[in-house]
Amino acid sequence: MEKTANVATLPLFLLLVLAAAASAGGVTSGYVRPTARAAISVLHDGDGRTPQQVHISAVGSDKMRISWITTDDAPATVEYGTVSGEYPFSSTGTTTTYTYLLYHSGKIHDAIIGPLQPNTTYFYRCSNHTTGDELSLRTPPSTLPFRFVVVGDLGQTGWTKSTLTHIGAVDHDMLLLPGDLSYADFYQPRWDSFGRLVEPLASKRPWMVTQGNHEVEKIPLFHSTPFTAYNARWRMPYDGEAATASGSNLYYSFDVAGGAVHVIMLGSYADYSPGSPQHTWLESDLARIDRATTAFVIALVHAPWYSTNAAHRGEGDAMRRAMEPLLRGGHVDAVFAGHVHAYERFARVYGGREDACGAVHVTVGDGGNREGLATRYDEPQPAMSVFREASFGHGRLEVVNATHALWTWHRNDDDVAVAADEVWITSLAANPACSNKDSVSLE
C-alpha cells in the first residue's frame, strides 16, 4: 500500500519501545532454533494488485463473509454465482481502515453473501473487478463427513509455505487456526504480506481463527488499543445468529455439518476469569448444546492447557483452572492449542490427570513461524502425553460419523507431508459413563 510506514523512518526511541514491548509479550524465549527457515520476502505491495488479501469465513449455516483489501475507493461489493463468469447475485457490505503509528491500512472491505447451497462451488469477484481475477470457494457440507484442517502459529517463512502447500494438496471443508497468524509483530506491512500469502487457500475455504499473543500488538503510550489489525482484518462471526452471539471478536462459536459439530473458539488474551463476559458466554454457549444432535464439540485456545514442553511453561494454567470444569460439564471432545511451536497429543485429561470423560488435548503450534521449533521436553514423557515431536506440520480432523472422528498429524518432512500421528476420537456423547452433566471440581 502506498502510505505504509517504513521501520527506518521511525524514531529510534520508538524502536526501543517496540523492542521492549516485543519481549514483554513473550516473543522471546529459550528455544533451541535449529532449522528455522528465513522469512520469505513478501513485503512488496502485491504489485499494486487490487483487490487483494481475500479470505472467507462462515457466517451461520448458509452464509459466507468475504474480506478483502483494495488500495482505492472500490465498492464493498461481491458478485457471485455457481457458473464461472456469471454473477447473478451480489451483496454490498462495509469498508473500514485503521491507523497504527505511521501506517495507514488499505481499504478493508467485508460483505456477507448468501443464502448459499451447502457443499457447492461458487464463483465470485470482489469490488466489481473485471480484469479476470475471478475467485472460487466451496461451501461446507451440511452433513457429515466433515473435514477440518487445524494449524497454529503460521507466520510467513519457507516452512509456512511448505505447510500451506501440504494443506492445499488435501481436500478439506474448513481451516481452524488457534492463534498467531502473521507474526507482524507491530510492523503492519507484514499483515498485508500474510494476507497475500494465505489468499490462495483462504479465498477458497473458510478460515476460522482465534487470537494468539502475536495479535495483541499493544504498545504502552503509543498504541494502547489491543488487537487493532487483527480485529479489522480477521473479523469472525461473533455477532451473527442471536443465540450464539458473544459480542467480542476474540471468542465465538459456530456449528457445522448441520449442527453435528459445534466449534468453540476461545480467547487466551481476553478475560476468562469467572464472572467475565467470556466465561459467562462460554457457560451459556455450552448449556445450549443438545448432545442428542451434536455429535462432537471441539474447542480452540492459543496457549495450551496441557503441555510437557519447556516453552511457555504454565502460561495456559490460569485459563485452564477457570474454564476446564465448564468444558468437562459440556463433554467437550477435543481442545486444540497453538503457541508452543511443536506437536503434542494428550490422552483424554481433566484436572491435570487422565480422565475418560475429559477432552483430548492437542498442541499444533507448528505451522512454520520464524521463531523456530520448541524442542525441549520434560523427561521422562508422562503417560498422559501420548505423542510429541518438535517438527513443523499441520493436523486434520475428519468427523466421519456421529461417533467417530479421525485425527491425524502431518509432519513437513523434506517438503513432503508425512502422516506421523493418528488416533480415532470417539464422541463423549456416545459414552454413557460420561453423560452426567455435573462437573468435577478441581483440586
Looking at beta carbons, which residue is closest to Fe ion? 339
- Does 79 participate in binding ligand NAG (rule CB under 6 A)? yes
Closest approach, Cβ 51 to ligand NAG, in A, equals 13
- According to the binding rule CB under 6 A, does residue 77 interact with ligand NAG? yes
312 is an active site residue: yes
For residues 128 and 284, which CB has a smaller minimum distance to ligand NAG in the complex?
Answer: 128
79 touches which of Fe ion, ligand NAG, none (CB within 5 to 8 A by kind)? ligand NAG
307 binds Fe ion per the rule CB under 5 A: no
The rounded distance, in Å, linking the Cα atoms of 336 and 303 is 10
Binding to ligand NAG by CB under 6 A, coded x per residue (else -) over 118-137, reads: -x--------x---------
Q: Verify binding: residue 339, Fe ion, rule CB under 5 A.
A: yes
The interface region with ligand NAG, picked from 53-61, 139-147, 179-187, 271-279 by CB under 6 A, is 139-147
Instruction: Give the nearest residue (CB) to ligand NAG.
Output: 141
Q: Which is nearer to ligand NAG, 141 or 226 (CB)?
A: 141
> Which of positions 371-400 make contact with ligand NAG (CB under 6 A)?
400
Our finding on whether 104 is near ligand NAG (CB under 6 A) is no
Q: Which listed option, Fe ion, ligand NAG, none, makes contact with residue 212 (CB within 5 to 8 Å by class)?
A: Fe ion
Residue closer to ligand NAG by CB (options 106, 304) is: 106
Under rule CB under 5 A, residue 213 binds Fe ion: yes
Pairing of strands 94-96, 89-92: unpaired
Nearer to Fe ion, 69 or 270 (CB): 270
Closest contact distance (angstroms) between CB of 226 and Fe ion is 14
| 180 lies in the binding site for Fe ion (CB under 5 A) | yes
Q: Could you say which of 28, 401, 435, 436 contacts ligand NAG (CB under 6 A)?
A: 401
Of the pair 81, 145, the CB lying nearest ligand NAG is at: 145
Q: Which residues does the annotation mark as catalytic?
A: 312
Residues near ligand NAG, by CB under 6 A: 75, 77, 79, 90, 119, 128, 141, 143, 145, 400-401, 403-404
Residues near Fe ion, by CB under 5 A: 180, 212-213, 339
